[in-house]
Every structure is written in C-alpha cells, then in structure tokens.
Amino acid sequence: MKFEEYRIAEGIKTSISKLGFKKPTDIQFKAIPPILKGEDVLAIAQTGTGKTAAFVIPIIHILHERKISGRPDGVKCLVMAPTHELALQIDSVFKTLGKHTRITSFCIHGGVDQEPQIKKLNEGVDVLIATPGRMFDLVSQGALNLKRVEILVLDEADHMLDLGFIKDINDLMRHLPKKRQTLFFSATINEKIKNLAYSLVTNAIRIQISPKDPVAKNIEHAVAYVEMDDKRFFLEYLIKDHPDKKILVFVRTKVRAERVRSALERVDIESDTIHSDKLQAEREKTMQSFRKGELKILIATDVSARGIDIPDVEYVVNYDLPDTSEQYVHRVGRTGRANQKGQAVSFCSTEEKELLAEIENNLGKEIQRIVISKNDYENTISFTKDTSHDWKKLMKEAEEQEKKHKRKNKNSRR
C-alpha cells in the first residue's frame, strides 16, 4: 500500500511526496491505521524504523480534521520525549509533515529561558512536544493547561525509565483527561516497561517490529582490537584517511568525550562534543553544525545522542564499546539511514572483550573482525602527530573541562 492510497489529508500527502517517501515502513504500515481509528497503541520498534512518522502522520490528520469542524483552543496532543534533542527532532517532523495543514506544533525543554515558551503557549498550539522537567515547571506555574489533551504520546519510553522519569510520567496522568488516546513507543520491552504501558493504555493494539538481524542490512559494521591507550591514534588515522566524511564517535562518559576532543585538537582535527553537561544552546548549535556538514566530527555520549536522526553520517565509531547490544544497535543505526549505505567500526580493548562477547551473544551472531597486523598496528601509532603521552595531565585537563561545564550549566539544566 502506498501513502497516496491512505485516507489522510492531501496536505500531508503533499509533504510526504516532497520528502520522496512512497511506501510506509513496517512500523508505519502497522501503526497508522489503528491510530487513525482512535485506538490506543503499544509499539515496540527500534529507532531508525520510521516510528516518529508512524505517529506524526495520523496525529496531524486527526487534529486537522477536527480543527476544520471547529473546536476549543488549547493543546490537543502532548508528546513526551526523554531528551532535548529528541524533542526538537520530533517537533521538526511535525512541522515538516504538517506544513500544508492547519496544525501547529511547539517544543518546550529546559536549559533555555521559559518566557518565550510561555508567550508561544498563550498564542495557542495544537501539538506540544516536551521534556518532563520543563513541562512540569510550566504546569505548576499555571502557564500550561493539559486538560484539553486528546492524544498522549510517550516516545522512547524505555529511555525515559532509564533516566528516572517514571514518577514524572505517573504524575503527568493527574493533569490529563482520563478519556484520551494513548500511544506508547519503546525500543525494548521488559516487565517494567510492560507494567507502565498497560497502566496507561486501554485495550491497546500491540505492535512489535523485531527483525532477525537488528542491524540494518545497509550498514557494514566490524570490530578491531585496539588497546585503550592506543584508541586515539586509530581514530586520528581513520579520520585523516576519510577527510571529507561525516563521522559520529561514541564514548562512554562526558569526561571521555572531552578527552577525545582534546586529543584530536592536538593533531589539528576539529571536532566538538555533545553531552548533558553542555548548555542547551551549545548543544543545539553543535547539532545544527553537524547536521549541515559544517562540523565533520561529533563526539557523543549515549544519553545525548539517543534517537537522534542525523542525515548523511557516513561513519560511526564506537570509541568505547557500549554496555548492551541494544545500545550497540542504536549507535551503529545512526549511519545507513533510509536507503543510504553506512559503515561502523568498534574499538575493543582487552578489558572490553567480555562486553563484546555479551553483545555478540545477544545479537546471535559474531561481528566481523578487522584484522590488524603487528606491523600495521605499530605504523598507525607512529603515524600520529601527537607526541604527548602524559595521561595524568590529560585526565586533569578533562576533569577541569567537566567542572567548567558544570559551573556554566548549574542553573540552566533540568
């Protein structure tokens, strides 16, 4: 079934056509019809499967039709997202797909002045995308009324639980009408997620998209054995060997992110970092620069980059191995979006081999190995322009950088 055959507003079809999409993905094919019928939906689908459009398309249609027939003002749809970046991305999808309709959307999050947000809410919006902290601030101040919400969406629900938002989600229910449509999207399902989901939905349609290989077939991914202290040399070599490529580098912690950035700076490679200690304005500026291709190398932690759809990422580098196979799939899935080809490489040190074994066990298959000869290994290390090996000094620099960001961010973050 093609999008043009769906019974949705012509303005939405126009937007979909301009994006070049003809057929829905699996999650879109299964989710759009029941959402259009007004049913509650519990959907389990990995990021990168097109799930955002799976709820945005039918929501815009439903609200557009109701707006034509006339109804009271106020927020009609509330979308909850765990991070600022994901909330902004969802808002972007609403604006793109709803461009030729009468539906307006707006995103609120912490880390920025709330007065412009309050002003915009007073002007009236149909769809509100929000992170929990700022949303509750505005509700408690009486600046946000959720009593007219007809559709509630919880996106990346598993990640919201990981970040400790379960109490916020439960508290949210007190501010919403009991009669509403609820859409619950999560990348994984376990007892905790299941209990939360079934406490929120009513007779929900359950949809689960579970591909045999969770890593998309258009992504080539492999692992190389590289010792912890040598990773910076191999990253430098890879970047300089692909000077025009857009590369996303994943690290374990905020300290590691700043440490890697400093190491690249010493060898004349421009990069930037994105993590939770940075001010929201800094994060948005960095993401915008990376999206446009002005910044070629972005170093990120899992929390800050989860669910983010960045176009044309040609390489993903797991500088540090993730803790779980779900995180691994999420990371490598930042490349090879839509029908594009992508490549991902992971650096595995001796102390990370157990993590690798666990990831492969959960994936049900071995990840391809990049065999590096002793000679090539030594040549890669000697290739570097960085002659600094004072790691105590580097760690001190990274810690100072982290303290600096915490001081700047202390009164701004939620």
Measured in whole angstroms, how far is the alpha carbon of residue 316 from the centre of its chain?
14
SS3 107: strand
Half-sphere exposure of 307 (CA within 13 A, CB side): 24
* pLDDT beyond 60 at 391: no
CA 237 to chain centre: 28
56 bridge partner residues: none
One fold for 3-208 and 219-409: yes
Superfamily designation of domain 3-208: P-loop containing nucleotide triphosphate hydrolases (3.40.50.300)
Whether 128 contacts 90, CB under 8 Å: no
- Tens of pLDDT, residue by residue over 36-78, are 999 999 998 876 678 899 999 999 999 999 886 655 578 999 9
pLDDT at residue 257 is higher than 80: yes
For residue 135, pLDDT over 60 is answered with: yes
Overall average pLDDT of the 286-292 stretch: 91
- pLDDT beyond 80 at 378: yes
User: Two tokens at 30?
Assistant: 């299964």
Query: Around 175, how many Cα atoms within 13 Å sit in the side-chain half-sphere?
Result: 20
Which range (45-59, 260-274, 313-327, 400-414) has the least confidence? 400-414
Between 1.20.1060.10, 1.10.10.10, 3.40.50.300, 2.102.10.10, what CATH number should domain 219-409 receive?
A: 3.40.50.300
Burial 370-400 (b: 16+ CB within 10 A, else e): eeeeeeebeebbeebeeeeeeeeebeeebee
Task: Calculate the CA 104 to chain-centre distance.
Answer: 22
Q: Per-residue pLDDT for 390 more than 50?
A: no
DSSP-assigned states of every residue in 272-300: EEE-TTS-HHHHHHHHHHHHHTS--EEEE
pLDDT band at 276 (very low <50, low <70, confident <90, very high): confident
Residue 411 has pLDDT above 60, yes or no: no
Summarised one tens digit per residue, pLDDT across range 216-238 is: 778 899 999 999 999 999 999 99
- Report the alpha-carbon distance of residue 340 to residue 353 in Å, rounded: 30
Q: Is the pLDDT of residue 376 over 70?
A: yes
- In the prediction, which pLDDT does 413 show? 46
Do residues 303 and 163 touch, judged by C-beta distance below 8 A? yes
* Six token digits for residue 373: 């000869």
Using DSSP's 3-state secondary structure scheme, residue 252 falls into coil
Phi, psi (rounded to 5 degrees) for 238 = -65, -45
Higher per-residue pLDDT: 35 or 400: 35
Average pLDDT of the chain?
A: 87
The yes-or-no verdict on residue 395 having pLDDT over 60 is no
- Looking at residue 186, its pLDDT comes to 87
pLDDT of residue 213: 67
Parse the chain into domains and list their residue ranges: 3-208, 219-409
